[in-house]
Structure 1
Amino acid sequence: MIALDTLDTAGVEGLDGLAGRRVAVAMSGGVDSSVVAALAHAAGAEVVGVTLQLYGGGATPSRPGACCAGADIRDARAVADRMGFAHYVIDMEARFQDSVIQHFADSYAAGRTPVPCVECNKTVKFHDLLDLARSLGAEALLTGHYVRRIEGADGPELHRGRDPAKDQSYFLWATTQAQLDYLRFPLGGLEKRRVRSLADTLGLVVANKPDSQDICFVGGGDYAAIVERLHPELAAGGEIVDAAGRVLGRHAGIHKFTVGQRRGLELGGATEPLYVTAIDAEAARVIVGPRTALAVGAAVLEDCNRLGAWAGQVEAKVRSLAALAPAHVEDTTLVFDTPQQGVAPGQAAVLYAGSRVLGGGVIARTRAPLTN
């Protein structure tokens, strides 16, 4: 067994005091969670690796960008076998189908743009897996997420990961305070290159394995096929109209569009670039307009989770790759200091104070900017 003090662990967090204690590690079969499990084992913890088989019946060959199925499960087991700790595979396919994939399809059918990673973390991973970890007698659940858990005056706080290119805090806004008390994120203070270097030093077979990308359960990027399988009525398509209701063309399904989108409209007669400004699911209509029509002054949030006070100025991220936008909160309405574009119902709005995650909510609807 490799001792922790023989490794360069500068920046690794959350491993203090684990020696002799049982911990569970969520293992997806990727390099990040494998390094977390190996580090916890090297720290002297009694590690129980847990892999959730989420789709594919456990037999689907791995593909770049996937996780939690097929070869990924075998990779997780190989890491556990090499390091010498227990590893369990739990069949959660039915739960994942109901809580994540069905929600994904239902959201598109309702004219929304969902964030399936949020739903997965909120339900399968940080609810079901956390309960399983406790049932195994684990004192903490460790994951490979690039976020930081920092002790504050009132208890643990959730912060952005140190590596901005890998920060996953946008997808973890729904983590509750009780869950945060139990969770540990050892990689939050590291850059990805350091994690791969540690994997190589530890001799892990996944050291050079590609990162998971996009939506894990969508093969070949064809998310529309999954939505149509669960909502075949969407394939009938409908009208593309302007703000006044004038018909400009037809579309092949509202689930193929999101607010802010330009590509795929195929409106040859337009005299200026047009963007999706709204989706009317009941009428199966895609509403389009000029770029100026995308401006949003406020977003009403639902299903909110608070990890800190929503008072005074905050910064908000309204898409995973969006820049932080200065704003303030009035009850559950996020009011932007300057109008924002591409704010889509169904996406998450995550609030920050510096690096700290204050929580967030799902964007239910938006409001146009106030006029002077």
Structure 2
Amino acid sequence: MKIAFLTTDNREHLKHYDKVDPVFGPAPTAVLEGLAQFPKDVEVHVISCTRQAMNTPVKLAENIWFHQPLVSKAGWGRTFFLGCAWAVRQVLHDIKPDLVHGQGTEKDCAISAVFSGYPNILTIHGIMQAVANSKSAPLFSYYGMVSVLERVALKLSGGVICNTAYTEGWMAPNARTTWRVPNCIRDAFLTPPENQRREKVIVVVGTIIEYKQSLEILEMWAGMKERRHGFQLVFIGSCSYTPYCEKFRELVNSPSMEGHARHLGWMESTEMVEFMNRASAMIHFPTEESFGLVVAEGLSRNLKLFAARTGGVPDVAEGCEGVEFFAHDDWAGVSD
């Protein structure tokens, strides 16, 4: 079977054009790790559009090829990603896949899949309609636009893979058919954690962005003072240069947070596993979450979890040992 796998290269998303190797999100990475185990059964062609030429390896594994079409600035969000869709169609003309699999509705992948001219399915990672609602995003804002494109893609696709019952509830009204399949976990997180001394560290994993409430978590921590009991709060994830991120950066780097909180930026999976193995707990408090792959990965490292009862997170963590749920705005509860 020949599959075209449309996903985002995070070198493009984060503008890290100097990095040598492609970087994919945790969920697509886990799927590709699985597909690489079947070299005789499936041929995979990963396609990731970019605005700027980068190093493009021919193959990522024995049965996985990599293609990176160059798309001008005009072919992205301002034209509803139709430039990306056209570039992908040109690549697919030579591949002639049996199936096109679009990874996520956050950017160009879903639209490129449904306009590919081949049988296609989508996997939902973040629910753009729900994110737009949680942010009260205007129609002509970015999240307003991609929430509309998400509904369009759902109607045109052959079917949608949903990672939780919560996600399926959002997708079913517009999708032709849905399949509920939990997200894969990266191979590095499947090894049993070593028995070692845990440090007084609480991790917060995820991009620094409003709906993940990164700044709000940090502000809560800043107000706890005498109740930190020697613990340090550590944020792992990329941080852009939006006003929200600048406020976060200013507070986390302030003298009052020295020794109490820090931001480490993005980590490779192996580095993150090693860090989680030494940590004691995790906080995950988004206002919207389709699955919470980081929750599953944290639980795989035996971290105690303090989580907002949001979206699909309970589907992942309900009933697991060491989990405490709170309302997404219950800062008094989680700080106690």
When you count helix as a share of all residues, which structure comes out higher?
2
Say which structure, 1 or 2, has more relative contact order (CA 8 Å, 6+ apart).
Answer: 1
Q: So what's the TM-score if we normalise by structure 1?
A: 0.30
When you count strand as a share of all residues, which structure comes out higher?
1
Q: So what's the TM-score if we normalise by structure 2?
A: 0.33
Structure with greater Cα Rg: 1
